[in-house]
Structure 1
Amino acid sequence: MQVVPELETGGAEQTTIDVARAVIEAGGKALVATRGGRMAARLISDGGRLAQMPVNSKNPLTMLGNAARLVDLIRRERVSVVHVRSRAPAFAALWAAKTTDTPLVTTYHGIYKARSGLKRWYNAVMTRGDVVIANSEYTRAHILAEHEVDPAKVVTIPRGVDLERFNPAWVTADRIAALRQAWSAPEDPRLTRFLLAGRLTRIKGHLTIIEAAARLKAAGRTDFEVLFAGDDQGRTDYREELVRAIDAAGLNAQVRIVGHCDDMPAAYLVSDVAILPTNVPESFGRAAVEPQAMGRPVIASNHGGTVETVVDGVTGWLVEPGDAEAWAKAMARAADLGPGKRAEMGQTGMNRARQLYTNAGMCADTLAVYERVLEAHR
């Protein structure tokens, strides 16, 4: 049984779906305790089962109620392993696992900040599993530095990418044409098109790219276009701030917000270079791996998990976060490289992604952890 707050969107949620499918394919029963969300239909269509409960709540009384619900679920369904992926439900899952004497696995999906002893204690619940999974070496190093935990029980399993979905050979010309039309982004050999894919939130670094684009234009360059593909998720103030910044810099022809995109494989093929200018370190950074799987070089901030997934000068470039001048130079370098050299770089990135970041590998390693805790429990 996996426990995750919601199944709306995101890396932890996608990984939950992937592992559930792997459990089913291995002949097991996959149960997910969650509030629910738009991805629940995919879980069910894969043969998984949904146990809806308010595990997203941080209310102590609700968390206590969740613990009782999980105990009942574990006993009724004869759950053999509990795998929790977030802090709030981890307290209930930990209590339920101990009450029923069931092995517990935790996955540390993010870099949790702790400015007080209380917050550090709260974060430490994610280290209470029999095995703790870190989604990158960067995350593992953070866990060991932040918490008193036996290094032997902390294992790194990088997040996988669906290489069936993110495969250039499977993206039809019609899908690419439809997205070009929706985004008013016709093929233009004179332009280098940069894509920043991700929700519209300050930590993603959109403002750094607007300033970098302004510097490129001030230097006389108009041979580029930047697309921001992502939903504001209710952050209308930030979206309006971006619109004002684009307008003030006179970049309406060079930088555009194109909104949420459901067809990211096609989106990467519409673009020439993916950019990930996060100003806060990503624990893994799937948005840096997916475009490489599609044969596109990546420019990413030089921190966090992306330092492991992007090889500077080989599959893309690593740039200091928040440094608009450095980002302008990196974007100019990518544009000047030309389509042929970018294609070579993209092919190298694709080969590396297919070797290191497969869903199959991630799921196999996760199932091996389940076997490990079951064997130790026996």
Structure 2
Amino acid sequence: MKILLTNFHYGRGGGHDTYILAIAKGLSRRHQIFVAAPSSSRLFEKASKLEHVTTLPLEFPAKLKDAGRMISAWRALRSLLEKERFDVVHVNGSPDHRLVVFSLMCFKGRKPRIVLTKHNSIAIKSDFVTKIRARATDDVIAVSDSTASLVRDSVYRHCSLITIKNGVDTDDFKPSDAAEIAAARKSLLGESKADKLVLGTVTGFDWYKGTMDVIAAVSALPPSLREKIAVVVVGTEPSAEQWQVIDSVGMRSQLEVAGFVEDVKPYIRAFDIGFVTSYAVETVSFACREMMAMGKPVIVSSYSGLPENVRDGVDGWVVPPHDPDSLTRALKGILERGDRLADMGKMARAKAVDEFSQGLFVDRTEMVYRLSQS
């Protein structure tokens, strides 16, 4: 099959990048894979390095002020679709979905099947343009059970719907031995903090990620417990306002901020516990699954599809979203039962291997493409 994967982000696309790259790499030896994204995007850069994958510099303008660029982008995409005659176009957001649908209007010959992945927990609109997109869409992939419910109750209800939860490379994201973990902690935190309970995430400080809730929860612990914890955050750095809050609760000395890194594994290696405490936008979370694959139990909020990752008290913990008090209580319990962390980490790894494998994720996505050709 000839398959086009599209994405609209101009810089970092977060989970979209990880998702598309996994599919492109996994299917590139079995199918003709094309990736269309803005030339300035991280996705374009990474996909360009994949063997047997063709990258196409295309923009997907979304704002009315970009009407002129929209026309140019429409012409470029229409020309590409007419030339390549794809079997499947797999879209991953509203801007690229919209442009693909409009580019296929009055299309001569057999149209490609349109597959849409619903990546987030944002409610689906029912306006005129969204209804047009929905009518032109054949299959919808939901990345969590929660997301699938949104699709079923929307203008996409007529589409073929399948839930395919994100997969991670469990051969790449794997547990480290004690010496590697000790070295990672010493390198990241220094000698003086290497014995702390390391609470970490690779989701950054974006407002909806709930990282500031974790900062508040740790700061509210009794001093004797608080001093046992170090917090490590990889990803978006705190805003000036967030730094003010961090300083106001005296958490700067207990916080290590790494910013964006290409390889998160050395940081996850140093964690004792991961956390993904989002309260908006999030669905199933690659970050959570990567940490679990490396043998780290994870604290998740009971938001959207996040609880679908863990079994509360077995390989992680589930807490109410945007609720620092509940987080504080959970942390107290975790500190009191620190002897359970190793076993919980093993359970997290086992679940990742059984349910989160990238091979299963890619094969199930390919099944959607193949069914569309039958």
Range of TM-score over shorter length: 0.7 to 0.9
How far off is 1:218 after superposition? 4.9
- Residue 39 of structure 1 aligns with an amino acid whose one-letter code is L
Q: 1:220 to 1:54 in 2, by over 3 A?
A: closer
Aligned to 1:188: 194
Aligned to 1:15: 19
1:190-213 C-alpha deviation (Å, 9 max, x unpaired): x21100321321111122122211
How far off is 1:133 after superposition? 0.8
- 126, 129, 139: which one pairs with 1:131? 139
- State the distance in 1 between where 2:131 and 2:261 align: 33
2:100 pairs with 1:93: yes
1:43-87 C-alpha deviation (Å, 9 max, x unpaired): 222221111121244334433433332222123223221111111
Asked if the contact 1:167/1:294 (under 8 Å) is kept, the reply is yes
Give 3-state SS (helix, strand or coil) of 2:299's partner. strand
Give 3-state SS (helix, strand or coil) of 1:195's partner. strand
Aligned to 1:374: 373
Aligned to 1:323: 323
Q: 1:292 to 1:75 in 2, by over 3 A?
A: same
Aligned to 1:365: 364
- Residue 17 of structure 2 aligns with an amino acid whose one-letter code is E
What are the equivalent positions in structure 2 for 1:52-67 lying under 5 Å apart?
52-58=57-63, 59-67=66-74
- 216, 225, 228: which one pairs with 2:230? 225
- Residue 33 of structure 1 aligns with an amino acid whose one-letter code is A
1:2-51 C-alpha deviation (Å, 9 max, x unpaired): 1111363411121111111222121x211111113233333222221111
What are the equivalent positions in structure 2 for 1:161-310 lying under 5 Å apart?
161-169=168-176, 173=180, 177=183, 180-184=186-190, 188-189=194-195, 191-218=196-223, 221-232=226-237, 239-280=239-280, 282-310=282-310
Aligned to 1:41: 45
- Residue 331 of structure 1 aligns with an amino acid whose one-letter code is L
Give 3-state SS (helix, strand or coil) of 2:101's partner. helix
How far off is 1:121 after superposition? 4.6
Asked if the contact 1:179/1:266 (under 8 Å) is kept, the reply is no
Give 3-state SS (helix, strand or coil) of 2:253's partner. coil
Aligned to 2:157: 149
> How high is the TM-score relative to the length of structure 2?
0.88
Asked if the contact 1:210/1:245 (under 8 Å) is kept, the reply is no
Q: Which moved more, 1:322-331 or 1:32-41?
A: 32-41
- Residue 312 of structure 1 aligns with an amino acid whose one-letter code is D
- State the distance in 1 between where 2:35 and 2:225 align: 54
- State the distance in 2 between where 1:226 and 1:268 align: 12
- State the distance in 1 between where 2:297 and 2:277 align: 14
Give 3-state SS (helix, strand or coil) of 2:70's partner. helix
- Residue 348 of structure 1 aligns with an amino acid whose one-letter code is M
> How high is the TM-score relative to the length of structure 1?
0.87
- Residue 141 of structure 1 aligns with an amino acid whose one-letter code is S
Aligned to 2:115: 105
Asked if the contact 1:274/1:299 (under 8 Å) is kept, the reply is yes
1:219-257 C-alpha deviation (Å, 9 max, x unpaired): 75411111222223xxxxx52222222221122332343
Q: 1:342 to 1:149 in 2, by over 3 A?
A: same
Q: 1:113 to 1:60 in 2, by over 3 A?
A: farther
1:115-136 C-alpha deviation (Å, 9 max, x unpaired): x754x85487367421111111
- 127, 140, 147: which one pairs with 2:148? 140
2:354 pairs with 1:355: yes
Identity of aligned residues (%): 22
Give 3-state SS (helix, strand or coil) of 1:16's partner. helix
Asked if the contact 2:198/2:272 (under 8 Å) is kept, the reply is yes
Give 3-state SS (helix, strand or coil) of 1:311's partner. coil
How far off is 1:186 after superposition? 6.1
Structural RMSD (CA): 2.6
List gaps (5 residues or longer) in structure 1. 233-237
Asked if the contact 1:288/1:310 (under 8 Å) is kept, the reply is no
How far off is 1:367 after superposition? 0.9
Q: 1:310 to 1:211 in 2, by over 3 A?
A: same
- 73, 83, 86: which one pairs with 1:76? 83
Asked if the contact 1:33/1:51 (under 8 Å) is kept, the reply is yes
Aligned to 1:235: none
- State the distance in 2 between where 1:70 and 1:130 align: 19
Q: 1:30 to 1:176 in 2, by over 3 A?
A: farther
Q: Which moved more, 1:31-40 or 1:359-368?
A: 31-40
Q: 1:155 to 1:318 in 2, by over 3 A?
A: same
Asked if the contact 2:219/2:226 (under 8 Å) is kept, the reply is no
Asked if the contact 2:5/2:20 (under 8 Å) is kept, the reply is yes
Asked if the contact 2:92/2:116 (under 8 Å) is kept, the reply is yes
- State the distance in 2 between where 1:179 and 1:122 align: 48
- State the distance in 1 between where 2:134 and 2:77 align: 17
Give 3-state SS (helix, strand or coil) of 1:25's partner. coil
- State the distance in 2 between where 1:210 and 1:127 align: 45
Q: Which moved more, 1:314-323 or 1:1-10?
A: 1-10
Give 3-state SS (helix, strand or coil) of 2:291's partner. helix
Q: 1:171 to 1:365 in 2, by over 3 A?
A: farther
Aligned to 2:313: 313
